[in-house]
Amino acid sequence: MKLNWKSSNLKQNINKTIVSCALVGIATVSFAAKDKGPVKGQQRIIGGVESAADAWPFMTALVGAGNDALSGQFCGASYIGDNYIITASHCVDGADPADLEVVIGIHTLSNEASEGERIAVSEIIMHEDYNSATTDNDIALLVLESEPANAQAVNLISEEQMAELNNGDLMTVMGWGTRTPGSQDSADTLHEVEVALYDQQQCNTDYSNGVTDTMVCAGFAEGGRDSCQGDSGGPLVIEINEEWYQTGIVSWGLGCAQPNAPGVYARVAYFDSWLAGKLSGISASKAQNYGIVEVGFNADMEFNLNNGPDASLNVGTVTISDATNLSQPTIESDSCTGATLAVDAECSVVVNVVADTAGEASFAISYPTDNTDVGAVVDRTNLTVVPETTFDAASAADMPGLKFYTPSSLGWESQSDSTSTGASALQSPVALEDNQSSILLTVVEGPGTFSFDYRVSSETNYDFFEVSVDGELVLSESGNMDEFVNQEIELSAGTHRITFEYIKDFSVSEFEDRAYIDNVVAPNIDNGGGGSSGGGSMGWIALALLSLIRARRFKA
């Protein structure tokens, strides 16, 4: 069984200038189909029909800024009123608002001159708990620079309305994507297909417990009708009392229209309270995204409460709760408690967090407010804490003085069979099995250039080697590489956490099935001249767009 993630990989012809720039100096990913079915890419309509020209006035195309709709469309979305668009987080993960524009109400992409309304994006609001590995909380709001003049919004279904639906009830999904599984048969005109609400428990079984409460499934056990490559972020809707309500957002699935593999969508009703808060303009945010940290982590983390544009907001006593696997986080400074925030104002809280034990850790910060629709705004922080290696990883990577961290179980290893320099190098664990991943972390002080040599030998498009800096993806590689490649990353001043991860999907192993790292060179550490560099550096365009062009995959 293979997952075909309904991801934000750009259409082959989107934004060719920007994509080519983004790929300078970084690893590229091949998107050739395999015998298991289509590659993990965008999702498009299978088994459907062309939509009537005026059937879905809320339907929206996400387009690379400056590109025409036909060549620039890479994801779907829907207009929900005022100056808001709803889409999938994976469509905009890593993007800057300046990279995006939307075309609302368009039917034929090549007819943009006479159809739809193009508006720039001023803000991207991804769900704070979006997980790119599991695709949990795959929802995002786009704030437009202006309200559309003539657009018609779709209703968002409530949890109460969702509870009234029955398995087998027909819903409609639409998009401009591929109409034939495994092909590049993308559509110029909007297409739609009816799919049935699928039993949630059966869907979870079909996907080996990969379906959570944030998701809803739609399709047929026999397959045949589905969204597919290109429809990511688009709406799944149902008619209630002659009005259309959005029930889901195209997210992921196994292949397209395969038996016992329904489409999986972000469950709109689950996000009732999140949407209410964001649409009010009241939201919580973090100044830093740590994610994976080392045992011994001790840092002051800044959190912000942002008021909306409608009215002043009174804030009660800020509290920290539900601390798990952490020394009790303590509030170091707090400008929120007792504050009255003017419209569009913000306050901040600084929390000291200490992580001394390996494993999953978390805590929540709560801001009580007098807004009756929002109530308390709760911001949860999740951390993965990894211990220092029990072997001399620094010597294996040719960087004495640099500490590395990896889990005690299924952690990275030292080996001597495949190296770029010296007698040894680091590799992802040989024992890693399907649906597992392994992390290697190092902490580096900037400014300066961090570089390393890497080689990947994996099942192309399904098992991945990924590198992140401070939680932001900067490199994604899949396939079989014969030689090591050098990679450079420019770091700003301050402390940076660089994570290397090898990720396997549900099944099948090919080639050596691992990733290798060698010849690490870190700034502000003397390694005695043992390393050498000279690879490509990561430009800002690459950082902004890499997650838009990488393939998706599943891991536990």
Q: Are strands 472-477 and 464-469 parallel, antiparallel or unpaired?
A: antiparallel
CA distance 265 to 147: 27
Domain range holding 344? Answer: 281-386
Q: Give the C-alpha separation, 489 to 492, whole Å.
A: 10
Domain assignment present for 40: no
Name residues of the chain where pLDDT drops below 70: 1-47, 178-186, 226, 228-229, 506, 526-556
Residues 116 and 192 in one domain: no
Cα separation, 83 vs 89, whole angstroms: 18
Cis ω for the linkage preceding 447 (within 30 of 0): yes
**Sequence-ordered alpha helix ranges (H) in 196-239:** 200-206
Instruction: Kindly state whether residues 134 and 193 are assigned to the same domain.
Output: no
**Residues 6 or more apart whose Cβ sits within 8 Å of residue 308:** 280, 281, 282, 283, 343, 344
CATH number for 75: 2.40.10.10
Closest C-alpha among 285, 344, 336 to residue 310: 344
CATH of the domain at 429: 2.60.120
Taking only the tens place, the pLDDT of each residue in 171-194 is 999 998 754 544 455 679 999 999
Give the chain's largest Cα–Cα span.
73
Query: Could you confirm whether 232 is annotated as catalytic?
Result: yes
Residues 530 and 421 in one domain: yes
Q: Which H or E element spans position 139?
A: none
CB-CB contact of 212 with 230 (8 Å): no
Phi–psi pair at 370, nearest 5 degrees: -95, 10
Same domain, 348 and 398: no
Confirm whether 253 is domain-assigned.
Answer: yes
Asked if 304 and 166 sit in the same domain, the reply is no
Separation CA 404–CA 397 (nearest Å): 10
pLDDT for the residue 521: 97
Domain boundary among 386, 409, 427: 386
Q: Which is catalytic among the residues 90, 107, 191, 496?
A: 90
Do residues 466 and 497 both lie within one domain? yes
State the total domains in the chain.
4
62 part of a folded domain: yes
For residues 137 and 64, state if they share a domain: yes
The span from the CA of 301 to the CA of 391, in Å, is 31
- Give the pLDDT of residue 506: 67
Strand blocks (E) in 368-406:
377-386, 404-405
The continuous run of DSSP H or E covering 286 comes out as: strand 283-286
Q: Which two tokens stand for residue 357?
A: 């034990």
Question: Given 8, 51, 232, 476, which residue is catalytic?
Answer: 232
Q: Is residue 22 part of a domain?
A: no
From residue 95, alpha-carbon distances to 338, 445, 541 in Å are 35, 25, 9
Kindly state whether residues 260 and 375 are assigned to the same domain. Answer: no
Asked whether residue 397 falls in the same domain as residue 382, the answer is: no
Q: Which pLDDT value is given to residue 261?
A: 85
CA 99/CA 92 separation, integer angstroms: 10
138 is catalytic: yes
Question: Domain boundary residue among 370, 386, 402?
Answer: 386
| Of the residues 360, 386, 412, the one at which a domain ends | 386
Residue 300 resides in a domain: yes
Q: Does residue 19 sit within a domain? A: no
Annotated catalytic residue, options 93, 99, 136, 138: 138
- Beta-strand runs (E) in 127-190: 140-144, 155-156, 170-175
Domain check: are 250 and 105 in the same one? no
Going from the C-alpha of 40 to that of each of 113, 161, 271, 442, the distances in angstroms are 32, 32, 26, 29
Residue 443 lies in a domain: yes
Q: Could you tell me the two tokens for 310?
A: 């409608």
Please check whether residues 351 and 436 belong to one and the same domain: no
Residues 300 and 327 in one domain: yes
Beta bridge partners of 103: 61, 118
Query: Which CATH number fits the domain that encloses residue 354?
Result: 2.60.40.10
Cα gap 432→555, rounded to integer Å = 12
Residue 46, class by beta-carbon neighbours within 10 Å (0-12 exposed, 13-18 middle, 19+ buried)? buried
- pLDDT for the residue numbered 423: 96
DSSP 483: S
Q: Would you say residue 462 lies in a domain?
A: yes
Please count the other Cβ atoms lying within 10 Å of the Cβ belonging to residue 228. Answer: 34
Our answer to whether residue 191 is catalytic in this structure is no
Find out whether 126 and 8 touch, Cβ atoms under 8 Å. Answer: no
Render pLDDT for 19-73 as a digit per residue (tens, 0 to 9): 222 222 223 222 222 233 333 333 345 667 899 999 999 999 999 998 999 989 9
Compute the distance between CA of residue 96 and CA of residue 53 in angstroms, rounded to an integer: 31
Neighbours of 172 (CB within 10 A): 20
